[in-house]
Amino acid sequence: MRFETAPAPHVVAGFTVPRVMFLVLLALIPVAIAHVIVLGPGLALQFAVAATVALGCEAAALALRRRPAGPALRDGSVLVTAALLALCLPPLLPWWLTALGTAVAVLLGKHVYGGLGYNPFNPAMVGYAVLLISFPVAMTRWPLTGVELDWPTLAQLTVHSFYSGAPPPDLSWDTWTGATALDALRTGLRQRLTMQEIRAGAPFGALGAAGFVSINLAALAGGLFLLRRGIVRWQIPAAVLAGIALPAALGHALDPGSHPGAVFHLFSGATMLGAFFIATDPVSAASSDRGRLIYGAGIGILTWIIRRWGSYPDGVAFAVLLMNLAVPLIDRYTIPRIYGQSRD
Amino acid sequence: MNPEPLALVGGAIVLALVLGSTLGWAATRMPHSVDGLVERINALLPQTQCGQCLYPGCRPYAAAIARGEADFDRCPPGGAATAQAIARLLDRPTRAPDPRYGATKPRQVAWIDEPRCIGCARCLPVCPVDAIVGAPRLMHTVIAAQCTGCELCIAPCPVDCIELRAVAAAPAARATPSPAGH
Amino acid sequence: MAPNRKFALGLVLDGRKQSAMQQPIAAAPAPAQAFVLLDQGDGRRGTPSVRVGERVRLGAAIAQADDESGAALHAPVAGRVRSVGRHESSPDAGPGIVIDNDGSDERDPQCEPCPEADSLPPEEFIERIRRGGIVGLGGALFPTAAKLAHGRAGSITHLVVNGAECEPWICCDDALMRESAGEIVRGAQLMLRACGAAKCTIAIEDDKPEAGAALTAALAAAGDTRLSLAVLPAVYPAGAERQLLTAVTGLEVPQRAWPPEIGLLCQNVGTAAAVARLVRTGEPLIRRIVTVTGSGVARPGNLEARIGTPIADLIDAVGGYAGAPRRLWSGGSMTGRALPDDAWPLTSAMNCIVAATDADLRAPVHAEQPCIRCGDCARVCPAGLLPQELHRAVRSRDDVLLERFGLADCIECGCCDYVCPSAIPLVERFRQERVALRERASEAARASQARLHFEHRERRVSELEASRRREFEDARRRACDDFPNEG
């Protein structure tokens, strides 16, 4: 009797890339809900545009590269990119900017390097950085946080801005948008205000950045879910958070007047999202466990530095891109010891 | 006029001049070993010493490539793999071996048909790696392990008693042990 | 039984062994025609020492080893040699010796028990083992005598007997340990004496409590303080030689070195039992325990079968096929080698035959995708490698990177393949590249030899020319001196 032949192993675990991506999207649901509650319904519109453009660009790129489109579109990786980008963008952003950012992320951040698995940079961060530098005004226009918002009006403002880039005729930017906590921190420090004076301002709540605390807590919940399921490993998130918290705590201890402290930093801006979802993108991160600790710590420290002394309110995107540049060097010097290799 | 942009531009120009001239000095004045390059190219050649590249051996050919006299597509025993490796070393586009210098053949060794050998010793001095042992009027034989298959011994033999035989690849030696339940 | 050493890496797999352990080891009937393969793996081959038509008795030597890394082969049945070479019933199996069984099982008189084994000088005893053709029954077929002798040359302090059997489906060692624990202990004692080690540890996994109990009882009965039992966590691949030695002794075998160089020696429990049997009955290696299992056989079980039995006969001995088996492989599910037909004969390397139906197979859900560098493979690699980086190095065929990331240290266990979410056939790629790497290394070695000869010859030729020129100059000068008015 004859049989088919095939190489070993004859059983595999059955983990797949689409499943990983699906679990990541699942873990983003709490953040999405918190985002909508705090900042209005803009996220839904942004994600709709981002997802459509992302899938379209992916299909176009694969066609140009003469690769089969089916498996790549079905694996969901480009949807994760779109989701992360949508979460980082201001919800009031006009749709053409979102589309531009997504196209840059997918085409210049991913396909130019060879597609899934070959990109040295985090694609969502590439798109975000390009938008932030090219359109600084639109990219720093956030709805007011720390005040009670009239949700229907906010929705109207969001939709109008999304379609036309301008507020509706009976509303104005000044009434409905304002600095986020990190914005206020940066401006306040420039003006040499003390921390007490800065924290008395509108965007600050009890713990720190009003509204953003909830968003970060939701991101933390999602991140812990991914940790539990083994989709992300603890090294990168722990190192990122430590990299932010330790310098922040040190700064606060040495000079409380100019440094807001670790808790503020950990629950403001995109800290938790960055630590658990953005920095953990495996393709652009370091390979070994030790390398991941160094990579994560670098992201954390750079984020804190940019927030403290840089011109941009939140440093997560640039910190991630800078550490992506350093990954080949980190990998070269953190190769784990092979069984039997001498320890010197 | 605002001095700041002027200072920036001026500073950038000065920096460019300083760095550029340093690099230029380093490129011309600091020794770059041509010898090192010849060794590295030679290490990629198959050491058949056959002369099909029209140089008397692999090292002279490597030196010619390093000097820029010859192109790296002249080595039939090395085949496409050698040409590709040298191309990568020199950071140039790959070339397939030029068939005018000979055809790439699978690994072969020379073999002397001993009943026909007349002991004339004409093949002994020609072998570039001393793989033929013998003496005048005594039997000659090829040490197969040393023979590179260069074919230089074929022509001098007056009775055509040397032929080339293809060699199967040697069975791979054991590396690390196999898993599970040894 | 509390495990006494942690095993850090690897996978916890579903053992699939219960079905075959339902009944004790059964004796498979001797085949009508025995087909003894000459190939012993890794390019080693035996040279036949019998001719077609010759009559051989049970246990007679029928092939000699080419060198020390191979072993002699013996007749598993008595009868006439029908053919030497490839067999048309299983052409892919390679050359072998086919013997028609005359049913007599007449023993070769040279096969004598060795009652004086405990007083024989170790070198002589090792020679008896070598003549008996005993090889490692864990799968790699390394000649036991060579391994023990190699040990003698250095100094072995610790002998480890491997009863871990970590791979799914395989349970022949478990059955052997339950039923013949005494033979194993006796074999361990004999090997201890042969290699000169001071102590011996029998290592098993914690999913074999009955075997553990049997061995404990046998050890107590023997009362030999040099022997002990170690229980390891049931993790795959705890039974891989290097990983096992580290788990039992805490020592690590250096890269490119062999265990005897740090005073360790590892043998399979089946090998120990074979040595004991050789001493007790004089029988060389002509039979072994093999698990015949899978959802594709009617009554999975362990068989004691003669080497050279066609696998189809073994399947019949366990009740024949059941269901619709698609694949037949030799070994476990992680490293098993698929066989194209069931006329293939049993060799001493085969510890398990699995006739797998769809229920036993799990292929990747989709075709191969690009590596997403998730690092799951690095998390499970028992050799501490980074398979994602190795994969990249293999794709670019970069020898420097292959060396840096340790391709030569891959034990081909299959753990990385098992967890890869992109369905990359890593083990296959690594195996092919290792062969290619060895070929490139041997090519490079030959080329550098040729270069040395060439340079030596160049020097000799130029020195000859230089000395000839000097002689010519001297002769010319002398001629001018003798005849100053000419020239």
Three-state SS string across C117-175, please? HHCCCHHHHHHHHHHCCCECCCCCCCEHHHHHHHHHHCCCCEEEEEECCCCCCCCHHHH
For domain B34-101, give the fold.
3-methyladenine DNA Glycosylase II; Chain A, domain 3 (1.10.15)
pLDDT-based confidence at B3, cuts 50/70/90? low
Higher pLDDT, C330 or C14: C330
Inter-chain residue contact C42 with B170, CB threshold 8 Å: no
pLDDT-based confidence at B179, cuts 50/70/90? very low
User: Quick check: helix, strand or coil at residue C256?
Assistant: coil
CA A25 to chain C, closest CA, distance in angstroms equals: 17
For residue A205, pLDDT beyond 80: no
Mean pLDDT to the nearest integer, C194-220 = 92
For residue B72, pLDDT beyond 90: no
Inter-chain residue contact C240 with B180, CB threshold 8 Å: yes
pLDDT-based confidence at B94, cuts 50/70/90? confident
C partners (3+ CB pairs within 8 A) are A, B
Which has the closest alpha carbon to A265: A229, A319, A301? A301
- Name every residue in A having a CB less than 8 A away from some CB of C: 1-17, 19-20, 71, 75, 77, 114-118, 233, 282-283, 285, 287-288, 331, 335-342
pLDDT at B172: 43
Q: In chain C, what residues touch A77 (CB-CB under 8 Å)?
A: 372
User: Quick check: helix, strand or coil at residue B59?
Assistant: helix
CA A66 to chain C, closest CA, distance in angstroms equals: 15
pLDDT-based confidence at A120, cuts 50/70/90? very high
pLDDT at A273: 95
| Closest residue in B to C413 (Cα–Cα) | B179
For residue C334, give the nearest of A9, A19, A282 by CB distance: A9
Whether C389 and chain B come into contact, CB under 8 Å, resolves to no
Q: In chain C, what residues touch B47 (CB-CB under 8 Å)?
A: 446-448, 450-451, 454
pLDDT at B177: 29
| pLDDT, tens digit, 9 for 90 and up, residues C98-155 | 999 998 988 888 888 888 888 888 888 888 888 888 988 888 788 888 888 876 666 8
Inter-chain residue contact C338 with A13, CB threshold 8 Å: no
For residue A340, give the nearest of C254, C389, C414 by CB distance: C254
Q: CA-based Rg of chain B, rounded to a whole angstrom? A: 26
Looking at chain C, the number of H-run helices and the number of E-run strands are: 13, 17
User: Quick check: helix, strand or coil at residue C36?
Assistant: strand
Residue C304, phi then psi, degrees to nearest 5: -100, 115
Which of B60-69, C82-91, C217-226 is modeled with the greatest confidence? C217-226
Residues 6+ apart with CB under 8 A from C237: B179, B180, C10, C166, C167, C243, C334, C382, C411, C413, C415
pLDDT at B1: 54
What percent of chain B has pLDDT above 70?
Answer: 87
CA B32 to chain C, closest CA, distance in angstroms equals: 23
For residue C271, pLDDT beyond 90: yes
Residue B132, phi then psi, degrees to nearest 5: -105, 130
User: Quick check: helix, strand or coil at residue A292?
Assistant: helix
Mean pLDDT to the nearest integer, C405-426 = 91
pLDDT at B174: 35
Inter-chain residue contact A71 with C327, CB threshold 8 Å: no
Mean pLDDT to the nearest integer, C84-97 = 85
Higher pLDDT, A8 or A127: A127
The answer to whether the pTM exceeds 0.90 is no
Cα–Cα dist A298/A275, whole Å: 12
Cα–Cα dist A49/A91, whole Å: 12
pLDDT-based confidence at B35, cuts 50/70/90? low
Inter-chain residue contact A71 with C423, CB threshold 8 Å: no
Inter-chain residue contact A9 with C365, CB threshold 8 Å: no
| pLDDT, tens digit, 9 for 90 and up, residues C457-478 | 989 999 999 999 999 999 999 8
ipTM above 0.90, yes or no: no
C316 CB-contact burial (10 Å; exposed 0-12 / middle 13-18 / buried 19+): middle
Can you read off the two tokens belonging to residue A92? 């009031």
Inter-chain residue contact C454 with B172, CB threshold 8 Å: no
CA C241 to chain B, closest CA, distance in angstroms equals: 6
Mean pLDDT to the nearest integer, C287-299 = 93
For residue A146, pLDDT beyond 80: no
CA A339 to chain C, closest CA, distance in angstroms equals: 5
pLDDT-based confidence at B34, cuts 50/70/90? low
| pLDDT, tens digit, 9 for 90 and up, residues A62-100 | 998 888 888 778 888 899 999 999 999 999 999 999 999
Mean of pLDDT over chain C: 88
For residue C328, give the nearest of A3, A7, A19 by CB distance: A3
| pLDDT, tens digit, 9 for 90 and up, residues A282-314 | 999 999 999 999 999 999 999 999 998 888 878
CA distances (Å), origin B105, targets A323, B111, B148, B165, C260? 50, 16, 12, 11, 43
Whether B82 and chain C come into contact, CB under 8 Å, resolves to no
Q: In chain B, what residues touch C438 (CB-CB under 8 Å)?
A: 172-173, 175
What is B105-169's CATH number, 3.30.43.10, 3.30.70.20, 3.90.45.10, 3.20.20.140? 3.30.70.20
What percent of chain C has pLDDT above 90?
Answer: 49
Mean pLDDT to the nearest integer, C170-192 = 93
Mean pLDDT to the nearest integer, B38-50 = 86
| pLDDT, tens digit, 9 for 90 and up, residues A227-251 | 999 889 999 999 999 999 999 999 9
> ∠ at Cα C59 (C53, C60), nearest 5°?
45
User: Quick check: helix, strand or coil at residue C205?
Assistant: strand
Mean pLDDT to the nearest integer, C1-23 = 68
Domain ranges of chain B: 34-101, 105-169
User: Quick check: helix, strand or coil at residue C264?
Assistant: strand
Extended strands (E) in B53-127:
108-112
| Closest residue in C to A10 (Cα–Cα) | C333
Inter-chain residue contact C373 with A341, CB threshold 8 Å: no
Mean of pLDDT over chain B: 82
Q: In chain C, what residues touch A110 (CB-CB under 8 Å)?
A: none
| Closest residue in C to B84 (Cα–Cα) | C397
Whether B31 and chain C come into contact, CB under 8 Å, resolves to no
For residue C1, pLDDT beyond 80: no
Inter-chain residue contact A287 with C326, CB threshold 8 Å: no
pLDDT at A59: 93
Q: In chain C, what residues touch B46 (CB-CB under 8 Å)?
A: 443, 447, 450
Q: In chain B, what residues touch C335 (CB-CB under 8 Å)?
A: 178-180
Domain ranges of chain A: 16-143+146-179, 186-333
Mean pLDDT to the nearest integer, B98-102 = 84
pLDDT-based confidence at A212, cuts 50/70/90? confident
| Closest residue in B to C438 (Cα–Cα) | B172
Inter-chain residue contact C329 with A337, CB threshold 8 Å: no
Q: What is the identity of the amino acid at A58?
A: E
pLDDT at C154: 61
Cα–Cα dist A143/A202, whole Å: 12
